[in-house]
Structure formats: structure tokens, C-alpha cells
Amino acid sequence: MGQKYAAYDAQRTIVAFYDDAISSPPKGDPVAKISDAQYRELLTGQADGKRMAVDDNGSPVLLDPAPLSPDALANAKRSNRDAALSATDWLVARQQDETFAGGDTTLTASQFAALLAYRKALRDLPLADGWPDIDLPAAPDFLNAIA
């Protein structure tokens, strides 16, 4: 193996690796010479969620992930909320089917009311103070026994 290089962009984010035994970096592109050990460390760090960059001296570093923008944070929280709603859709439909059929129901009336209150709290979450930096409401305990 030859000399390894980490190519980076104007924000000093590592965007590519080169090994001159295989393919030299393009002329004029900013690169940092790296050892095999640094190369492995960078890839392992990236797999663990770190960002690869070069510091002011041109040395490779691993950085914590950039914080999410407010919009990205809201979208992520909304996705979690939507998943929680979807996870209970089947139970609402089942309860309604059983009620309309006139037979026994999976949930008691109080359990069904608690499920509906939980789903309403999930839907109202974006209106809560502190959105999106808030926790999802806790699911009713009986859901674990039914799933």
C-alpha cells in the first residue's frame, strides 16, 4: 500500500480518501497525508456517528455530529410521533370492528378511552410548549401486554 490521503472541502470536511498506490488525489485538491492507523480510526469513528474533518493544522480529527436544525429536529420528532400513532392504528380499528360486530372487545371501555387520550396527546404534541424539544407521552401500560 502507498501513502494515504484524506481529501477535504472548503468547510474542512473529509470527503474522500486516496491511496497513491491505487489512485492519487487530483492535483490541486486540498488533502492531508494520513497513516493507515489514522485511516482506520477515521472510518471507525464515522461508523460510530462522528464527523470526519481536518483541523486548522490540516490534521484529521473526529467531531461530534452537528446539531440538528430546528426544522430537522421538528421533522424527526414528528416522525417519532407518527410512528407511535401508526403503532396503535391496528388496535383502534380492531376495537371499532369488535364494537360494531356486537361481540366482546379486546380492550375495556376504560382502556380504549386511555388509548384515545394517548393518541390525542400524540397528535397535539406539536402545539405543546417547548416543541420539538419535548418527550413523547408515555404509552398506556396495557399496550405492552396486547402487542
- Tens digit of each residue's pLDDT (9 = 90 or more) over 94-125: 999 999 999 899 999 999 999 999 999 999 99
Q: Determine the average pLDDT of the residues in 116-142.
A: 95
The set of cell numbers assigned to 119 is 393518541
Q: What are the beta bridge partners of residue 16?
A: 7
**What percent of the chain lies above the pLDDT cut of 90?**
84
- Contact yes or no for 62/43 (Cβ under 8 A): no
How much is the pLDDT for 147? 63
Q: Determine the average pLDDT of the residues in 65-71.
A: 89
How much is the pLDDT for 32? 94
Taking alpha carbons only, the member of 13, 21, 16, 67 closest to residue 39 is: 16
Q: What is the 3-state secondary structure (H, E, C) of the chain?
A: CCCEEEEECCCCEEEEEEECCCECCCCCCCEEEECHHHHHHHHHHHHCCCEEEECCCCCEEEECCCCCCHHHHHHHHHHHHHHHHHHHHHHHHHHHHHHHHCCCCCCCHHHHHHHHHHHHHHHHHHHCCCCCCCCCCCCCCHHHHHC
Q: Peptide bond before 26: cis, by omega within 30 degrees of 0?
A: no
Per-residue model confidence as pLDDT tens digits over 43-52: 999 999 999 9
Task: Give me the chain's average pLDDT, please.
Answer: 94
- Contact yes or no for 115/92 (Cβ under 8 A): yes
